[in-house]
Structure 1
């Protein structure tokens, strides 16, 4: 499993379930995030651990193509990657090992379909303390509305 999480809103913007831990899994999640957030992501900082998927040449090249830069924490700690570890923990507790779990997961496709539902719930209904107990979608909508209100122009007759 690989999740791409917007650190500001806690929205999962890209994800991928696979039966392997190869770089292609991460690249697929990045493509989903690009579809969600835009093709050019200049200034984006991608925090990750030091796994081989995130230190590969292909990963670094793909980030450079979209204007993003990697940020890899030191080996053996999760300080730079705390958000990802938190989301992974929620996912495992709420879906993989949680009450919604099918006994047992039969195929990767079963996990992928369940993950699709969990990501939708996470983004639209799960309350996040960091977001003043709002779901990420609601938080983003409120932020966007505030930005629009701040930039409204007043016509002078």
Structure 2
């Protein structure tokens, strides 16, 4: 019975922490169609299986300044630093993380025991080498923290040919992609409840998170493909395959479909802090 199959899949260890809008595309990429997201939600709700499937809180709307737009990967990066708790009260490790706005891929990260403009500059230099970034290719957006606008960082960006973009003073949500990424990171079930034992432990944990996020996480802002798939352009064929699968499922049981299949066209241009009425405000909020 399909209802029971849906319940069994939702309770499987591989999916127990995922909502239906993550489960359905993962199954689709395996050539399996059990039902739509709404069918999953309806069945799980009826069996009281929707509560606390993720460690998360409701997302908040983001106030948006002037927009930047990316039409492909390696055009706009956003970065920030977040605190990681240690076993010593008041002391933290500092996670530096850079994301590609178009693909949502984490293109670089480091963990250190201090905040430093020089460390941030080293990270950007490493990313540019690895991603083969040319002068004038990338805009780097961040908030107004000291490491972001320190002399060493700004000089390095100028040398690399990267244009800096800073959030407005005293406006904390001008950098929504990085904020959303850190929110996803800190609500992972594996995130330590109290503290990281040492800096080596924190680095191993972040390395595992980035591997999962880039290569396994179906991102709601990019039609539930992974950031790595989007970054390399593989999302186009993956979404086309899902479209064929859903059309076939509808052809087999048209009585189960009230309208057309969902729009699975790849996401086009992506805005950083889009102006009102300028496109993908929903995708900005999601990680």
TM-score, scaled to structure 1: 0.81
RMSD: 2.1
Distance (whole Å) between structure 2 residues aligned to residue 104 and residue 56 of structure 1: 29
Match of 1:12 in 2: 106
Moved more, 77-86 or 64-73: 77-86
SS, match of residue 177 in structure 2 = helix
Using structure 2 for the length normalisation, give the TM-score: 0.46
**Larger RCO, structures 1/2 (Cα 8 Å, 6+ apart):** 2
Larger fraction in helix: 1
SS in 1 for 2:183: helix
**Aligned to 1:34, which of 128, 142, 150?**
128
Alignment of 1:5-154 (within 5 A): 5-94=99-188, 98-101=189-192, 104-142=195-233
Distance of 1:50 and 1:7 partners within structure 2? 19
Pair member with larger Rg? 2
Paired residues in the alignment total 143
**Please, which runs of 5 or more residues in structure 2 have no aligned partner?**
1-94, 238-287
Contact 2:117/2:149, CA 8 A, preserved across alignment = no
* Contact 2:144-2:166 within 8 A present in 1 as well: yes
- Aligned match of 1:2 in 96, 104, 110? 96
